[in-house]
Each structure stands twice: as C-alpha cells, then as structure tokens.
Amino acid sequence: MSMRWQVKTVFLAAVAVLLISCGLASAPPKAPETRAQPPSAMVPPTAPSAVQLTAAVADPIPPEYQALYDSLSQKLDKFERTLDPNCNPDPNRKTIYAAELLAANCSVGERLLNETYYQGIIFWLDTFKSIGIQGVKIAIDYPFFMPDFPNTDAYIKFYKRLVQECRARKLAVFIANGNLFLNSPFTDLKYNFNGLTLDKYRQGKRQTCATIIRELRPDYLTVANEPNGAENLNTGINQTPAQFADTTRFIITGLEHSGTLLGSGTGTWSQAAYIRELVKILELDYIDMHIYPIDYLQGVVDAADIARSSNKGLALAEVGLYKVKDSEMGDLGKMATQATIYGRDVFSFWEPVDSKFLQVVVKLAKCYGYEFISPFWSTYLFGYVNYDDSTKNLTYNHLRQLDNREAYTNAAAGKLSGWGETYKKLISSN
C-alpha cells in the first residue's frame, strides 16, 4: 500500500469517526400518517474513482424474513402484470434519473456549515455523476429560510454554493419544500410551532418558496406534499383535499418563477381527491408523488391519469420499497413501529427485491409519463449491511451508521451494490 493511500485511508477513517460521534444517523422517509426527517449520510472528503460494476450475489434470506420477502416480491409481480405490456412511451418525453442528496438534507442543521462536511457532499455529487445519475433531490423544508429561523443567511449561502456545484456538473436540481421534523431525535434543530394557524402556515410556505426561487433557482420546486402525512404530523395542521389545493394555490399564485417548474403532490397512500383538486390549479406545472409502501402503487397510475388529463407534468421525487408486514400496516403512526421497519432496509439480503422494485418503478414511470425519478435511500446504491448475529439486534441508528460507513467506503473504492448496478443499467438503457 502506498504512503499516499495510507494517508487517504486514515483520513477517511478519521472523518467517519467524527461523523459517527456527531450522531449522523439517517432517519426514515415517511409512511402513511408519519415521517421522520433523514439526516446525512457519511461523507468522505475525497473525489470518487469511476464506479465499476461488480457481480451481484444474493445473500440468503433469514428465515424470520422469508415470508415478508416473498410477500413483497409477489406484490411487485402482481402489480407489474397490471401494466400494459405494449405501452408505448412518448419518445420525446425525457425522464431524469436522480437520487436523494441525503448529505444535504436541511435536517443536518449546523453541520452543513462545516467546510469539511461540505467537501464530503461534493464527493457524493461526483459519485452520482460517475454512475450516470442526472439530477439530485434536496430537501429544504419549512420553516427553513424563514427570517426568524436560526442561521438563515448562512444556510442560504450554503445552498446557493451547492446549487452552483450541481450546475457545474450538469445535474438537474429538484428542491422539495416539505415540513421539517423538528424537536425530534432525528435533528438538533428547534422551532416553535405553537399558535401556527393555517393562514400563518400558508404565508410562511409562500415566503420560504419565494426565497428558494429567488436565491437558488432550482429546476423543480415542490411547494407542498404529503398533506395527510409529514405535513399534518409535523405542523398539526390537517387539510382536506380542497384546503390543500387552496394552500398550494396561495403559495404559487403570482410567484415569479422563471426557469423553475412548480409542483405539489401527495403520497401514494392519500386519496386521489387530492390530485383531482391540485390539477385545477392553472399555475401548477407538475404533480409530485411519493411511493411508500408498495400496497398503494396503483396510486401512481391513478395520479398519472388525472394529471395527464389536465396537461400536468409528473414526478416521483421519493421512491422506496417499504419493508412493512401486512400486520404492521395499522401501526404506521407509531414511531417505534417505523424505526423497526426502517431498520430492516439496511440489510443486503433485500438487494434482489429492491432491484425488482426499481425495475417496476422505472417501467411504470416510462409507461405513464413520469419525468423525474429519485430513489430515496441513495446510500444503498453503494452498500448494505450484512445480516448476522452481530447486526440483527442493533438499533436503527446504529444500523444506519454502519450502512453509511459501508456506502462511502465502497463509493470511494469505485464499487456499487447490486441495487446500484441495477439503477446504473436502467439509466443507461433508457
């Protein structure tokens, strides 16, 4: 081993220890009724080598997960059979294949302002670019960028610099202004929502979206999403389909957004009535759907039919295979249940069904005209955690730390997971 590589390895290990000590364990996306914000993935401060494909070998499925694995696989097969085998995608409609930039999620908070950490985010941009990824989705949630939010000016400066780096790499920039999971174990950020009314919420969302457009000029901006998920859980505000459409309309009407497409949407678990109300908004450019869990995949088809009838664009800005048992579906509003489910994602034996899921989603997107696709757990493109006696009983946070370490180590060495191989092949063939 050369001295240069020894120094590099020691430096990467030191950064890993630093990040772990800071508690940078990624938290879950969301599910029907609840969601936790995803903090950063591990971020090595070196540029990646060109990523090479390696032969994927399926790990044995633990007996305790065989039934769940088989159920997920069968559900995917059943849904895929409903897709038109003769669908003829519009050759003039470009699909952008993106990935969630977990390291730049706003819930990371003040660590975003650390220069070493920033260079690690640049590492992930270069890594994504090296495997053909064409865009990134970045979560900058409400109340981030509000005038009374701590360090607002510094965060705006950080994201402006980051967007410039994306532009330099010709990566499309998709920003989602959802709702920050504040005052929780998943972020150190604090903010007081006491006394928040629907009117105040709408005004604040419009103000933050106006700032995002003025300062960052993203290609896409989703101004609201998950009205009966992350939104009502985090803010305490409940909205009917008509009220949610009115909120979206209030945010975007008269908003100067030259060069930025504006969207709004729901999770697949929500009623189609939300989409029917949203497409009535003339100024809205696209509908943004989030896929969790696969029991509601038909919602993606229904949303596409509704949106296309009103000449709206379509995006799948969050895509993930939710490892949930049928018996757990009624408990998804409980954080303990969610942490258990999210902790399953990290294990490598899921790779084949994760790959099947991604193949089905890409086929679905092409057939029904979705123009933007972004898998949420982007670290799994580079590595999972092996399931054995030393890992199977670890906490969710500990498992995510192990996976973050595995992902950046593999990325720095130019290696993809089997799921990453699948995504790279899907991108190159479409």
Delimit the domains of the chain by residue range.
Answer: 3-429
Least confident of 38-42, 57-61, 99-103, 253-257: 38-42
Q: What is the pLDDT of residue 248?
A: 98
* Start-end of H helices in 236-334: 241-252, 272-278, 298-309
Q: What is the pLDDT of residue 193?
A: 78
Please answer whether residues 374 and 318 qualify as being in contact, where contact means their C-beta atoms are separated by less than 8 angstroms.
Answer: yes
pLDDT tens, position by position, 42-57 = 333 344 444 443 334 5
pLDDT tens, position by position, 17-74 = 333 333 333 333 333 333 334 433 333 334 444 444 333 456 899 999 999 999 999 9
% pLDDT > 90, the chain? 68
Type of residue numbered 164: Q
Q: What is the pLDDT of residue 330?
A: 79
d(CA 8, CA 397): 27
pLDDT tens, position by position, 364-405 = 999 999 999 999 999 999 999 999 999 999 988 899 899 999
pLDDT tens, position by position, 201-246 = 999 999 999 999 999 999 999 999 988 776 666 677 889 999 999 9
pLDDT class of 127 with cuts at 50, 70, 90 = very high
Please answer whether residues 385 and 42 qualify as being in contact, where contact means their C-beta atoms are separated by less than 8 angstroms.
Answer: no
Which of helix, strand or coil describes residue 266?
Answer: strand
d(CA 65, CA 342): 14
pLDDT tens, position by position, 305-317 = 999 999 999 999 9
Q: Determine if the peptide bond prior to 143 is cis (ω within 30°).
A: yes
User: E strand or H helix at 374, and its extent?
Assistant: strand 372-375
Q: Which of 50, 118, 35 is nearest to 290 (CA)?
A: 35
- 291: which strand partners? 319
pLDDT tens, position by position, 290-306 = 998 899 999 999 999 99
Token pair for residue 177? 């202004």
User: b/e for 148-157, b at 16 or more Cβ within 10 A?
Assistant: ebeebeebbe
pLDDT tens, position by position, 180-196 = 876 655 667 777 778 88
Q: What is the pLDDT of residue 342?
A: 84
- 245: which strand partners? none
Half-sphere exposure for 210 (CA within 13 Å, toward CB): 15
Please, what is the Cα angle at 348 between 328 and 346, to 5 degrees?
55
pLDDT class of 279 with cuts at 50, 70, 90 = very high
pLDDT tens, position by position, 261-273 = 999 999 998 899 9
Residue 415's contacts (CB-CB under 8 Å, 6 or more residues apart) are 51, 52, 54, 382, 383
Least confident of 325-329, 345-349, 421-425: 325-329
d(CA 377, CA 128): 13
* Start-end of H helices in 261-417: 272-278, 298-309, 335-344, 351-368, 396-412
CATH number of this structure's domain 3-429:
3.20.20.80
Least confident of 165-174, 331-340, 378-387: 331-340
Q: Which of 90, 193, 93, 210 is nearest to 149 (CA)?
A: 193
- CA of 12: how far to CAs of 42, 116, 124, 232, in Å? 10, 11, 14, 40
pLDDT class of 409 with cuts at 50, 70, 90 = very high
Q: What is the pLDDT of residue 186?
A: 60
pLDDT class of 333 with cuts at 50, 70, 90 = low
> What is the value of pTM for the model shown?
0.86
Token pair for residue 184? 């929780």
Using CB atoms within 10 A of its CB, is residue 59 exposed (0-12), middle (13-18) or buried (19+)?
Answer: middle
